[in-house]
Chain A
């Protein structure tokens, strides 16, 4: 369990969020992790990994929302041309497709957040945020990871619903890079397909799926516009994960 916490905070450490200087944030984190790390007698009972994954997701949301950069709910990988971002809501298959892309050669940035460093002139850079990836057993099998998670494997009980995989399972983590392609996932339709769409639709998706636009809406809008101006925007009809990843990499990689 401590392995999961350590791996999670290692990923969060890539975001310059100051826990020490923010008592409210610290309090939130303690509350979220408490059921999993308080173990005064040293006898950790088995914890359903789904609960752990949920706590990890809540910690993630708490921290990303406080990152000092615009952040959007998205999976992100990197190819030679730059980052490929997949903005989508929870449950849309971001983690599955991000995993499939990485296992076919893309480099991992995040399965959860497109964090945009807009501190310099030029296009905003997608920062690495390589948190552990939570996949259902079906998703893990579909992308070829099998059912042996690299984290929390001993915490699984009663056929739990999610498996946690550390970022090392997806190869090299990419450095910060500008977004080259924005993919707007559509519903699963069987045969994967990519169609170019107007950039303004990409801007709409980034705004709709932002974690923290309310902090500085003007800054967020300018950063989002910087992303879509420098990127190609596509509608992705999602099919079987590995087939979809092949299409994306053959077309954009």
Chain B
């Protein structure tokens, strides 16, 4: 599944490596911890996928691939729940 950001209208600020995002449709400010912020940054690239993010996160945080996958899956889940990301079926 490809991961896409829901809207170009999000307002994003970064403070000490952690990101806060205002979502105009839900009217909520979502605060991301350092890990979720890292995942969010990586989803800026077109065609981001969980499989594609795992090695990037493993390298960035110096962790093994299994741990990185757990972190990415949990982080993506949070971002989807907050309606910041959607999963797009390429088919």
Alpha-carbon gap, A147 to B31, bound state (A): 44
Give residues of chain A (107-144) contacting chain B, Cβ–Cβ below 8 Å.
none
Interface of B (DSSP majority class): strand
Where the two chains meet, the residues of A that have a C-beta atom closer than 8 Å to any C-beta of B are 198-200, 203-204, 207, 213-214, 217-218, 221-222, 224-225, 228-229
Give residues of chain B (10-46) contacting chain A, Cβ–Cβ below 8 Å.
11, 13-16, 18, 20, 22, 24, 27, 29, 31
Interface of A (DSSP majority class): helix
- Please tell me if the beta carbons of B24 and A217 are within 8 angstroms of each other in the complex: yes
Chain B residues with Cβ below 8 Å from A228 are 15
Task: Name, among A200, A203, A217, A225, the residue most crowded by chain B CB atoms within 10 Å (CB to CB).
Answer: A200
Contact residue among A199, A213, A214 (Cβ-Cβ distance under 8 Å from B15) = A199
- Please tell me if the beta carbons of A221 and B29 are within 8 angstroms of each other in the complex: yes
Contact residue among A198, A199, A217 (Cβ-Cβ distance under 8 Å from B22) = A217
- Please tell me if the beta carbons of A221 and B11 are within 8 angstroms of each other in the complex: yes
Chain B residues with Cβ below 8 Å from A198 are 16, 18
Chain A residues with Cβ below 8 Å from B20 are 200, 203-204, 207, 221, 225
Alpha-carbon gap, A7 to B52, bound state (A): 63
- Please tell me if the beta carbons of A200 and B15 are within 8 angstroms of each other in the complex: yes
Chain B residues with Cβ below 8 Å from A217 are 11, 22, 24, 27, 29
- Please tell me if the beta carbons of A200 and B11 are within 8 angstroms of each other in the complex: no
Where the two chains meet, the residues of B that have a C-beta atom closer than 8 Å to any C-beta of A are 11, 13-16, 18, 20, 22, 24, 27, 29, 31
- The chain A residue with its CB closest to the CB of B32 is A200
Q: What are 11 contact pairs spanning A and B, CB under 8 A? A: A198-B18, A199-B15, A200-B20, A200-B31, A203-B20, A204-B29, A207-B20, A207-B29, A214-B27, A217-B22, A217-B29
- Please tell me if the beta carbons of B22 and A218 are within 8 angstroms of each other in the complex: yes
Alpha-carbon gap, A207 to B23, bound state (A): 13
- Please tell me if the beta carbons of A218 and B31 are within 8 angstroms of each other in the complex: no
- Distance in Å: Cβ of A119 to nearest Cβ of chain B: 18
Alpha-carbon gap, A214 to B29, bound state (A): 11
Chain B residues with Cβ below 8 Å from A224 are 13
- Please tell me if the beta carbons of A222 and B11 are within 8 angstroms of each other in the complex: yes
- Please tell me if the beta carbons of A221 and B13 are within 8 angstroms of each other in the complex: yes
Complex A-B, nearest 7 residue pairs according to Cβ-Cβ distance, in ascending order: A225-B13, A200-B18, A218-B11, A199-B15, A207-B29, A217-B22, A221-B22
Alpha-carbon gap, A213 to B22, bound state (A): 11
Alpha-carbon gap, A222 to B10, bound state (A): 12
